[in-house]
Structure 1
Amino acid sequence: MRLEIKGLDQHYGSAQALRGIELTVESGECVALLGRNGAGKTTILKCLMGLLQPSAGTILLDGTDITRWPNFKRSRAGIGYVPQGREIFRELTVRENVLAAARAHGHDQDGTIEEVLASFPILTEFWKRTGGQLSGGQQQQLAFARALVTRPRLLVLDEPTEGIQPSIVKVIGDVIARLRGDITVLLVEQYVDFALGLADAAVTIERGRASARVPKSDFAAKDLSRFVTV
């Protein structure tokens, strides 16, 4: 799935959060969005997911304009989302969280759930626990599983390593690495080594503006870590 964002503006009242964002992610690519807190990265993702309506600009999926689509329609079109803060259903069990997502997309009886859980075996062990009983790292694995059982063609990840232990970071990194090439990934991440180890290209965000794409071959020369450090 090819993603194009053209001329994206977003205002919060009189404050302009995004300024003419231009971003393309080719089918099967992993592109990292890098920037300091408050630069506008999460706002871009919320506009992409239909959680915010942009002030101006266009969002295209495989050439189709989805700018005004409701968020449920974007999900059904093939966008999976792991938001910052996970946003799992804490009162539901692991099983209920996973099954609700899979069933909404028609993948509750076709082996998709078993396929996804093979990457997150701890979820099988805690299948009957509520989301609120899980650790932060376990909740993040649940958020990933819930997105993946929808069989997305574009996976949107907002700070997937935030607040979790190194062993779980490795699990998540391995999953993303296996997905690369099969699905398109847009990754917002503060952990620069993690992001650049997975990405085919990077785009930096500063004060609501996006840089030109930086290909993997130029990562070291551009010293991209400076865009996420204070």
Structure 2
Amino acid sequence: MNGLLKLDQVETHIGQYHILQAISFEVRKGEVTVLLGRNGAGKTTTLRTIMGLNPATKGSVTYKGEPIQSLPTYTIAKKGIGYVPEDQGIFAGLTVEENMKVAIQKENEETAKRMDWILELFPDLKKFWKKTGGYLSGGQKQMLSIARAYVNENELLLIDEPSKGLAPIVVEKVMESILQIKDQTTIVLVEQNFMMASTIGDSYYIIDDGRTVNHGTMKQLKEDEEMKRKYLGIA
């Protein structure tokens, strides 16, 4: 096994609410692992727990063999985990250029190469380089959010609902960009759009009511009509 990230019986409380009750999964290096489940199942909280934003109250989160569940978020990020939150998390009052500069942890030759590659991948960002984040469309904001997470030499990207609220034609562009990025890094993807998830993903874990209930290859899930109907509401 070439596991990069592993969660073992992770539990998370938010206030009085017991959100994650038994989350276990392993992310293999070089693959896209998709977390699936209905709204409110605990997928976003799972990503936030990995990043230390909603710390685990029980269980372990291990990255490259090292426990990280008790570390602060900034330390987790410096270990090589990029995070694209559900709300995109860009700075509306800063320009695209400033948003990118704020995200860069170390300015070096490798970062410069990644920046050039990103601007080829997302030409709209280059076009609106001097415009503020608030000026961008929903799809462009999503591209900026992904670009900010990818510009550093992160070995793992956590991407939460990249298609949310986007028009179908924009979803296709975002999907194409993630397909290109997956050739160069490992990804954990939370995505409600099953067409997008099944196109990008290599393996899947289904989360239901804060628990991991099923997993396998994406090819297996595409063929399992009962599983899709039971946990994802796909007829």
TM, length-normalised to structure 2: 0.92
- Which residue of structure 1 lines up, in the alignment, with residue 233 of structure 2? 229
- Which residue of structure 2 lines up, in the alignment, with residue 125 of structure 1? 127
- Which residue of structure 2 lines up, in the alignment, with residue 105 of structure 1? 106
- Which residue of structure 1 lines up, in the alignment, with residue 69 of structure 2? 67
Query: How many residues get paired?
Result: 229
Q: Is the 8 A contact 1:107 1:150 kept in 2?
A: no
Q: Is the 8 A contact 2:36 2:190 kept in 1?
A: yes
Structure 2 residues without counterparts, runs of 5 or longer: none
SS across alignment from 2:140 = helix
Q: Is the 8 A contact 1:107 1:149 kept in 2?
A: no
What does 1:196-211 correspond to in 2, within 5 Å? 196-211=198-213
SS across alignment from 1:118 = helix
Give the letter aligned to residue 135 of structure 2.
Answer: Q
Q: Is the 8 A contact 1:192 1:225 kept in 2?
A: no
Q: Is the 8 A contact 2:81 2:158 kept in 1?
A: yes
Q: Is the 8 A contact 1:33 1:187 kept in 2?
A: yes
Q: Is the 8 A contact 1:76 1:105 kept in 2?
A: no
Give the letter aligned to residue 113 of structure 1.
Answer: M
SS across alignment from 1:8 = strand
Q: Is the 8 A contact 1:154 1:183 kept in 2?
A: yes
Q: Distance in 2 between matches of 1:180 and 1:123?
A: 20
Partner of residue 94 from structure 2, selected from 92, 95, 101: 92
Q: Distance in 2 between matches of 1:85 and 1:116?
A: 21
Runs of 4+ with deviation above 4 angstroms:
none
Change (3 A) 1:222 1:107: farther
Identity of aligned residues (%): 36
Deviation at 1:216, TM superposition (A): 2.5
Q: Distance in 1 between matches of 2:228 and 2:143?
A: 26
Q: Distance in 1 between matches of 2:112 and 2:16?
A: 49
Alpha-carbon displacement from aligned partner over 1:63-99 (angstroms, at most 9, x marks no partner):
0111111111111111111100111001000000011
- Which residue of structure 2 lines up, in the alignment, with residue 32 of structure 1? 34
Change (3 A) 1:61 1:197: same
Deviation at 1:126, TM superposition (A): 0.5
- Which residue of structure 2 lines up, in the alignment, with residue 159 of structure 1? 161
Give the letter aligned to residue 91 of structure 1.
Answer: G
SS across alignment from 1:116 = helix
What does 1:13-28 correspond to in 2, within 5 Å? 13-28=15-30
- Which residue of structure 2 lines up, in the alignment, with residue 215 of structure 1? 217
Tell me whether 176-185 or 52-61 shows the greater mean CA deviation.
Answer: 176-185
Q: Is the 8 A contact 1:152 1:183 kept in 2?
A: yes
Q: Is the 8 A contact 2:36 2:205 kept in 1?
A: yes
Alpha-carbon displacement from aligned partner over 1:84-130 (angstroms, at most 9, x marks no partner):
0111001000000011112x233486332111111000011101110
CA-atom RMSD, angstroms? 1.7
Change (3 A) 1:24 1:118: same
SS across alignment from 2:59 = strand
Q: Is the 8 A contact 1:94 1:127 kept in 2?
A: yes
What does 1:40-51 correspond to in 2, within 5 Å? 40-51=42-53
Q: Is the 8 A contact 1:205 1:211 kept in 2?
A: yes
Q: Distance in 2 between matches of 1:195 and 1:72?
A: 28
Alpha-carbon displacement from aligned partner over 1:9-61 (angstroms, at most 9, x marks no partner):
01233321111211101111111111111100011000001111111011111
Give the letter aligned to residue 106 of structure 2.
Answer: H
